[in-house]
Amino acid sequence: MGKLSAIELNMLKAIADLHKIPEGAYNIRADGQSAGRNSTEHIEIVSKTDKQGIDIIVKPGTKNESVHIPVIISKTGYEELVYNDFYIGEDCDVVIIAGCGIHNSGCNTSKHDGVHTFHVGKGSRVKYVEKHYGEGEGTGEKIMNPQTVIYLEEGAYMEMDTTQIRGIDSTKRETTVEAGPGAEIVVLEKLMTHDKQSAVSDMTIHLNGDDSRGRVISRSVAQGESRQVFHPNMEGNARCFGHVQCDTIIMGDAKVSSIPAISANHVDAQLIHEAAIGRIAGDQLLKLMTLGLSPEEAEERILAGFLK
């Protein structure tokens, strides 16, 4: 990773917990260019020929391996649209660590739009970790619009863990899942907005096969004058179970809309949704302050625990 600047290395640490070149398969993208790539015996990474992006091919039976695919933007005014397709063979167990960091020190907008499509084979397990992070002293906006499409074959399992804590001025997340028989999707979303930032999350999960399962847990904090809209839709089209849970702490002059929806199109579909929006409880602050924390320290401690 000698090609990367100190700023880029710091962002790589923030979005992918990388201090050095990772082991296993990886593809590191910096300002639209490759900053490092490695395929392994069981995982192949290939550049697309018709558009920006890569194909990640995981051979059947691959277990206990990982793929790192971080993206870094440090040029002000740089905008890109990238397509990444994942082909996970049958009977695999892999971890995919993605994420995007934008450092904008200028006055022009920097933007990353990414379309990730997952084809998860029969009986495979995938954990997908995605972190978004923004920094920089410039006035230019930092924008990210991730789109994720997931196809789960029979008995497949995928956990999608997404985190955006500070720094992104505008984001629109679009997630679509098609779950086959016995497949399971778990989505864990953690989000913080502040100042005048905006965040929209649209999510549709189709439980199409018998004994398919879906679970969505969203936790967010809205500070300052920021705006958040969360719209998850769980659709049961077979004998299935789905649960949507949305919890938000609202502060300052922020505005939040949480609009969970459940749609049962089969008599044996069992679907649940819960949504809660509220401020930090005064007794929580008081308890921590009696232990010697300042009001600001107590607030930070509560928010960190909520988004953990």
Q: What is the pLDDT of residues 205-220, one digit of tens each?
A: 999 999 999 999 999 9
Mark 121-137 as b/e (b = at least 16 C-beta within 10 Å). bbbbbbbbbbbbbbbbe
* 33, two tokens: 């260019």
Mean pLDDT of the chain: 92
CB-neighbour burial class of residue 174 (10 A; exposed 0-12, middle 13-18, buried 19+): middle
Q: What is the pLDDT of residues 85-103, one digit of tens each?
A: 999 999 999 999 998 999 9
User: Residue 52's pLDDT is what?
Assistant: 93
Out of 116-125, 183-192, 280-289, pick the least confident: 280-289
Query: Which residue bears the tokens 């069992």?
Result: 270
Our measurement of the distance from residue 10's CA atom to the centroid of its chain's CA atoms, rounded to an integer in Å, reads: 20
Pairing of strands 33-38, 25-30: antiparallel
Q: Residue 127 pLDDT more than 60?
A: yes
User: Residue 303's pLDDT is what?
Assistant: 87
Distance CA 127, CA 135 (A): 27
Query: Which residue bears the tokens 């953990």?
Result: 308
- Give the pTM: 0.92
Residue 290: phi, psi to the nearest 5? -70, -15
Our measurement of the distance from residue 216's CA atom to the centroid of its chain's CA atoms, rounded to an integer in Å, reads: 12
Q: Residue 72 pLDDT more than 60?
A: yes
Residue 32: phi, psi to the nearest 5? 80, 0
User: Residue 20's pLDDT is what?
Assistant: 60
Distances, alpha carbon 232 to alpha carbons 58, 61, 259, 267, in Å: 29, 33, 7, 21
Residue 304: partners with Cβ closer than 8 Å, 6 or more residues away: none
Q: Residue 1 pLDDT more than 70?
A: no
DSSP per-residue codes, 123-178: T-EEEEEEEEEEE-SSSS-EEEEEEEEEEE-TT-EEEEEEEEES--SEEEEEEEEE
Q: What is the pLDDT of residues 168-214, one digit of tens each?
A: 999 999 999 999 999 999 999 999 999 999 999 999 999 999 999 99
User: Residue 126's pLDDT is what?
Assistant: 98
